[in-house]
């Protein structure tokens, strides 16, 4: 089976991501014997000439004159014909540059850590380097004769022309939503308003607070007023896509409910979690657990809420001198605010897995998550997970012990952390067993076969 996995990212060859998201899925499909190719844009690609549009509008209809084995027509872009056969000469020679892929909050807290390029019995990485015009052209998709197309376009309606182009080549098109389910205000008015505020604050952190906060409030209010227009566009996207994958059960429920309200088929929405590297993120009984709390994230992001994390850790460590904390990621201060808190820069997945295996608790302070990849990885390594929302590992406690009434989120998170520190660690973990790359890849193939 030939599988194309496309995401609208512009990256450099030394930033190819084989340890997460569509990169990890590409590797999983290839390990199962399928001809899977990751489709991305080259970051160093020159700008198109003024005569060539570079917008996500409908491409002009042109006959598909290209045939297999013959040169592509020039309308498809200046790069795909060469890059479809081999990666650039410098691909895989350098380790990925940490954090360079993350211009938004689309990726999980552990997605910045680097890993060398993947080369499965082949010196050429399974990558198609394309231009924006390539993916807008039905000819490009038809020329590659895919049996299955997996899109990572976050269900944004502006990408509908790309979806139509892919559907012209095969009806077997699946999109990964990468969403927490709060897609419009009808999914939950107050929660949606907060999500929109957090989203814009993330993008305006460099602004002065007197400007950023009112602008975020205005953006949140405008998003609520624009709900009818947003849902009108989203309705067309949902009706266009044959199948949509949602990463968590709660988000899947929200998506199905939204589909019903918009007149789309809720049965095309399926719960399929993100795959994680269970070959390295796994519980190892030979590795002794330390009294240590670990956290990983893009800490420059407003979503990750570094101030809440440090405040909670500071309070906990003052009362528990036998414990330490390890905070890993980008955007950290140059100096730790507490002698028991250690800051570390981005590291590769193997080292991150080892640190998680040695830690008892994974602490997350995020305002929201679509899936929480680092959380799943930590659980796979046998960590208890503490976050501002429900704690799966404490779900069996009596409600009187699990409902903490405090005046602030920090105090509530601190209470959960103190309670978790007295519990035994998971051995072995429960949830991540269903997140192995082969299982996720096989589940997606089964879903694709059900598409008529």
Are residues 14 and 119 part of one domain?
yes
Are residues 142 and 79 part of one domain?
yes
In a domain, 12, yes or no: yes
Structure tokens at 21: 């998201």
Digit-coded pLDDT (tens) for 392-436: 333 333 333 333 333 467 888 888 899 888 887 655 555 545 688
Are residues 393 and 254 part of one domain?
no
pLDDT computed for residue 189 by the predictor: 92
Provide the 10 A C-beta neighbour count for residue 403.
9
Query: How far from each other are the two terminal CA atoms of the chain, in whole angstroms?
Result: 17
Are residues 210 and 297 part of one domain?
no
In a domain, 212, yes or no: yes
Are residues 304 and 393 part of one domain?
yes
Digit-coded pLDDT (tens) for 85-132: 333 333 333 333 333 333 333 333 344 444 444 444 444 689 999 999
In a domain, 442, yes or no: no
Structure tokens at 438: 């082969």
Are residues 163 and 21 part of one domain?
yes
Q: What CATH number should be reported for the domain holding residue 423?
A: 3.40.50.2000
Are residues 299 and 239 part of one domain?
no
CA–CA distance, 166 with 139 (Å, rounded to integer): 9
Are residues 37 and 138 part of one domain?
yes
Instruction: For residue 2, give the 3-state DSSP assignment.
Output: strand
In a domain, 285, yes or no: no
Going edge to edge, which strands form the sheet with 127-130?
127-130, 35-42, 2-11, 148-152, 173-176, 243-246, 269-271
Are residues 409 and 302 part of one domain?
yes
Whole-number mean pLDDT of the chain?
80
In a domain, 439, yes or no: no
In a domain, 450, yes or no: no
Is residue 349's pLDDT more than 80? yes
In a domain, 153, yes or no: yes
Give CA torsion, residues 220, 221, 224, 225, to 10 deg. Answer: -140
Are residues 131 and 233 part of one domain?
no
Are residues 170 and 29 part of one domain?
yes
Digit-coded pLDDT (tens) for 152-189: 999 999 999 999 999 999 999 999 999 999 999 999 99
Number of domains in the chain: 3
How much is the pTM?
A: 0.78
Q: What is the mean pLDDT of residues 311-322?
A: 94
The residue to which tokens 């809720």 are assigned = 266
Instruction: Label residue 388 by pLDDT band (50, 70, 90).
Output: confident
Contact 115, 348 (CB under 8 A): yes
Are residues 95 and 34 part of one domain?
yes
Domain-ending residue, one of 213, 244, 271: 271
pLDDT computed for residue 99 by the predictor: 30
Domain boundaries, position 145 = 2-176
CA–CA distance, 154 with 151 (Å, rounded to integer): 8
In a domain, 452, yes or no: no
């Amino acid at each position: 089976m030939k599988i194309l996995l496309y995401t609208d990212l512009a990256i450099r060859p030394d930033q190819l991501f084989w340890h997460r998201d569509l990169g990890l899925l590409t590797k999983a499909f290839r390990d199962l014997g399928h001809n899977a190719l990751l489709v991305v844009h080259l970051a160093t690609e020159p700008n198109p000439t003024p005569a060539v549009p570079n917008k996500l509008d409908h491409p002009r209809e042109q006959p598909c004159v290209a045939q297999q084995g013959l040169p592509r027509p020039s309308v498809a872009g200046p790069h795909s014909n060469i890059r479809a056969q081999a990666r650039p000469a410098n691909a895989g020679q350098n380790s990925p540059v940490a954090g360079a892929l993350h211009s938004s909050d689309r990726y999980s807290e552990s997605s910045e850590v680097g890993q060398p390029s993947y080369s499965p019995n082949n010196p050429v990485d399974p990558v198609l380097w394309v231009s924006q015009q390539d993916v807008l052209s039905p000819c490009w998709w038809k020329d590659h004769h895919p049996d299955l197309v997996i899109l990572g376009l976050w269900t944004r309606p502006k990408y509908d022309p790309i979806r139509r182009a892919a559907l012209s080549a095969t009806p077997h098109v699946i999109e990964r939503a990468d969403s927490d389910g709060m897609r419009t205000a009808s999914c939950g008015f107050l929660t949606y308003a907060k999500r929109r505020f957090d989203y814009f604050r993330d993008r305006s952190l460099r602004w002065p607070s007197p400007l950023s906060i009112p602008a975020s409030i205005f953006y949140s209010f405008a998003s609520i007023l624009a709900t009818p227009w947003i849902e009108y566009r989203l309705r067309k996207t949902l009706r266009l896509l044959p199948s949509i994958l949602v990463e968590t059960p709660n988000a899947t429920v929200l998506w199905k409910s939204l589909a019903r309200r918009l007149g789309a088929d809720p049965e095309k929405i399926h719960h399929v979690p993100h795959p994680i590297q269970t070959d390295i993120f796994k519980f190892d009984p030979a590795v002794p657990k330390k009294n240590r709390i670990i956290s990983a994230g893009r800490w420059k992001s407003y979503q990750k809420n570094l101030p809440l994390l440090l405040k909670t850790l500071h309070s906990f460590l003052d009362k528990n001198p036998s414990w330490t904390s390890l905070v890993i990621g980008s955007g950290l201060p140059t100096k730790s605010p507490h002698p028991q808190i250690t800051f570390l820069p981005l590291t590769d997945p193997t080292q991150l897995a080892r640190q998680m295996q040695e830690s008892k608790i994974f602490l997350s302070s995020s305002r929201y998550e679509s899936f929480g990849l680092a959380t799943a990885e930590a659980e796979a390594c046998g960590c208890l997970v503490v976050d501002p929302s429900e704690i799966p590992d404490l779900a069996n406690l009596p409600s009187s012990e699990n409902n903490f009434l405090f005046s602030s989120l920090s105090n509530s998170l601190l209470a959960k952390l103190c309670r978790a520190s007295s519990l035994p660690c998971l051995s072995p973990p429960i949830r991540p067993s269903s997140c192995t790359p082969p299982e996720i890849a096989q589940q997606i193939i089964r879903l694709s076969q059900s598409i008529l």
